[in-house]
Chain A
Amino acid sequence: MSDTTTAPNQAQGDVASADFDLVKLLLEGRAFFALIAIIIAFSLLSPVYFSLNNFLIMSSHVAIFGLLALGMMLVILTGGIDLSVGSTLALSGVVAGFLMQGVSLEMFGVVLYPPVWVVVILTCGVGAFVGLINGVLVAFFKVPAFVATLGLLYVARGVALLMTNGLTYNNLDGSPELGNTGFEWLGFNRLLGVPIGVIVLALVAIACSLMLNRSALGRWIYSTGGNERAAELSGVQVKRVKVTVYILSGICSAIAGLVLSSQLTSAGPTAGETYELTAIAAVVIGGAALTGGRGTVRGTLLGAFVIGFLSDGLVIIGVSSYWQTVFTGAVIVLAVLLNSIQYRGGRRKGPAKLSSPQKGTASE
């Protein structure tokens, strides 16, 4: 019945949506409702949870996952995946730390101390470079995204370990004489009471949102993930689009790396391990389809906040970290479960999706 004329289909859709408005609302806004539920539950369980200051602290934790998740979402929208974000975060932090220690040029016998803004740009460049390698492997050499980025997960982590010999840069302060102070400003400081990391997250999110909704690139990203072949035949340069999203993901990881090392006032090569999985979880909880083509900035941010507020809440009420892992996993599984309910049959049978009763009977 997928070929009826439009008018009846529409009527069908209207009827279905009238009957199942509440279900649909709950399903589509699930990340939002989950967040509300988490806040209410923990506020009841702990007197310190519901306070502005706690929210800001938790948000600054969320900022790291949020930045990774936004880059991850861009990749997932094209139907890919980027497992290297956690390692890229660590590598970026280490590179920033390395640059803050001063770069000695033996040839000229001088030690260069780049100012912080130069460090930031160079570090983002490192992230972009990792993304470029990912993108070229995936788009031009047809390496499955999972495998290519898994490789970079190891390589980037290995390079970070090599650069520091496994140690951590603890002095990121710079000194006024050298003109390279201000690294702590990136994540440690606050602007009007708001942690800088949260502001960075907000700015990146706005940029991503504008890019996805208001630019040609955004349209290309959605179409590449929705149907790569159709996009290509419509003149979308799908290879360039893919390389671009991996580069953007790399840059997001680098920004996250800068914020994290600033928050911690140290840069270590083991930072951000398994963060790629948290980022993927945030994207999925936010309602994006891992098959590509569906997902929003708003959803992904909500997903990141759900994970962050949940795990911080568990810490505050004193649940063991082992249980935290179990809870986080359960939330992810639940999210994927709801995702598959939402997108069930949506690829081929447009109208069938609108009519839940039909689906129920068909699957009996």
Chain B
Amino acid sequence: MTLHEMQIASEQSSSIVLSARNIAKSFGNVHALKGVNFDVHHGQVTTLFGENGAGKSTLMKVLSGVMQPSSGQIVLDGNPVAFHSASDARDLGVSIIHQELSLAPNMNVRDNIFMGREIIGAGGVDYAEEEKQSRALMRELEEDIDPLTLVEDLRLGQQQLVEIARALSVDSRILIMDEPTSALSASEVEVLFKVVRDLKNRGVSIVYISHHLEEALQITDHAVVLRDGEVTASAPRGDISLEWIVQNMVGENFDLGSPPEGYAMGDTALSVRDLTVPDMVRKDRNVVDGVSLEVRAGEIVCIYGLMGAGRTEMLECIAGRLPNASGSVNLLGQEVSSLSIAERIEEGLVLVPEDRQRDGLVQTMSVGKNLSLANIQAFTRASIISRRRERNIIEGAIKNVTIKTSGSDAEIGSLSGGNQQKVVIGKMLATDPKVVLLDEPSRGIDIGAKAEVFRLLAEGARKGLAVVFSTSEVGECFSVAHRIIVMRRGRISAEFSNDVTKEEIMAASGEAVSAIRPSTGVTL
């Protein structure tokens, strides 16, 4: 974009650059979008809110040319356009950055930025020119990343900036960002938001999607809420609040439950002493450093911490996935740290992993077979499977965790994110555990499903289950947990009962004071 264009652009700062007119998109007789109108304001951030399955991703795919609408029109700068492909859209200045980054980790920043449109000089690829332009882009983003660094050596937040640089290198005027902060630390989010503000000042229009409502509110200029393929509300930032978004998203008030009470907690079910897990990459430090904790039967403990605080490593070590350098894990009075994962499951200690696609589900197997996978010995005799008993177990699990599925033979991929998560939880609960560890059980699922997951945990605790779950959303600490443990750099930095404030938790986790968002009074 030339300077002249930018001046023109800033003069029309309140104008609409891209708009979707009456867009409908159907898959068979499923109507993912039902006549959506959506405006992207010039040089501003337009945030699209909505639960999983509301149609956000479909709308973004239509706007970026990845999909074609069944009906309706896209208007760019006042002229109707038809994007036949993502590259069509990119040529007209509309780029999308997907949630899963599309960088080649084995190549350096320069090669990634120019991947597929290398600058060809007389003697082949003109690396010097590419490097010069890459440096200029990084300077614009005020990010000190050497273009010759391998992408795999960058932090996730920096990789995202490389994606943004790539979009800018093709003069994108409209940048669609799908869940850009889902894997970033608080400080990386700050950097990203600074870049977003700079982009706005340069006249780039941003479309932003996030599940993290509070965070998104910080940079939103316009909010659009989508529900069941229809726009339920849209308004400029001044007119909206968190409550407004949530109400329009889900259509009813939601709370994530409260700690179950009215029963006596049992004895200590899980006791971890001085657990230490060495860092696989940097041998000189420990990712989990002398952690001790006790959980009683019937108790729910929440572990809060930033990315890299060691939550996942601690839970995986307790479950037997990672070896511990020192320390002990004691289950119901029995030392289990030398047992395999399978033996720990048999003893009643199970882990619901963080990444359900990578660690939780076998995508090639049906819903039913996934549900029964951890519990095969319960329906096999002399290593022969009894299909009748397996069906009973599967049907029990589907009912217990209320999975919405067409049946146990349905493909895993046919379920919504929330129901997939329930399959992973149901699979582990079917083993009749004494202690269940859940690593970010609410990740990537909508508010309704979140509330149901927490309800399941509360139900389990009432029946005497010891529950430990981790989260990176401070609002979730105030759901069903009796106790909140904060981790920071591999250690437990604080322990609270559930009458603590968000600010105290975030201070203990080591988030910069500036990163603390003003309390909104809504418990999400």
Binding site for B on A (CB under 8 A): 1-16, 214-220, 222-223, 225-227, 229-237, 289, 292-294, 346-351, 353-355, 357-358, 361-362, 364
Contact = CB atoms under 8 A, between A and B. Distances in A.
B414 interface: yes
Interface in B299-334: 319, 321
Given A217-B383, A219-B369, 5 more contacts: A6-B404, A10-B406, A215-B383, A219-B385, A233-B360
A150 to B, nearest CB: 24
Contacts of B29: 11-12, 15
Interface stretch (B39-47, B175-183, B337-345, B483-491): B337-345
Interface in B70-110: 84-85
B83 to A, nearest CB: 11
Interface string B41-64: 000000000001101011000000
Interface of B: 27-30, 32, 52-53, 55, 57-58, 66-68, 84-85, 319, 321, 340-342, 345-346, 351, 353, 357-365, 369, 373-374, 376-377, 380, 383-385, 404-406, 410-419, 427-428, 431, 446
Contacts of B361: 227, 230
Contact of A235 (B345, B358, B411): B345
Given A1-B27, A214-B385, A6 B321 contact: no
Contacts of A11: 28-30
Nearest to B446: A3
A293 B362 contact: yes
Interface majority SS (helix, strand, loop, mixed), chain A: helix
Interface majority SS (helix, strand, loop, mixed), chain B: mixed
Candidate in A9, A226, A348 with the most chain B CB atoms within 10 angstroms: A9
Nearest to A358: B27
Contact of A236 (B84, B373, B385): B373
B359 A235 contact: no
Given A12-B28, A16-B28, A355-B27, A236 B66 contact: no
A358 B28 CA distance: 9
A110 B357 CA distance: 63
Contacts of A219: 369, 373, 376, 385
A2 B416 CA distance: 7
A226 B363 contact: yes
Contacts of A222: 362, 364-365, 369
A215 B385 contact: yes
Contacts, number: 161
A351 B446 CA distance: 19
Contacts of B376: 216, 219-220
Nearest to A4: B53
Nearest to A347: B363
Given A6-B404, A230-B359, A235 B414 contact: no
A210 to B, nearest CB: 9
A235 to B, nearest CB: 4
A1 B376 CA distance: 33
B362 A231 contact: yes
A147 to B, nearest CB: 20
Contacts of B28: 11-16, 355
B6 to A, nearest CB: 34
A351 B351 contact: no
A234 B372 CA distance: 9
A5 B416 contact: yes
B82 to A, nearest CB: 12
A233 B346 contact: no
Candidate in B58, B68, B363 with the most chain A CB atoms within 10 angstroms: B363
A226 B362 contact: yes
Given A293-B365, A350-B411, A234 B30 contact: no
A58 to B, nearest CB: 33
B363 A353 contact: no
Given A233-B351, A235-B346, A351-B413, A6 B362 contact: no
Candidate in A1, A237, A346, A358 with the most chain B CB atoms within 10 angstroms: A1
A6 B405 CA distance: 6
Nearest to B359: A229
A12 B30 CA distance: 6
Given A236-B342, A362-B67, A229 B364 contact: no
Candidate in B30, B32, B353 with the most chain A CB atoms within 10 angstroms: B30
Contacts of A1: 27, 32, 53, 55, 57-58
B15 to A, nearest CB: 31
Contact of A237 (B319, B340, B369): B340
A355 B428 CA distance: 32
Contacts of B384: 214-215
Nearest to A77: B364
A361 B57 CA distance: 16
Contacts of B385: 214-216, 218-219
A232 B463 CA distance: 27
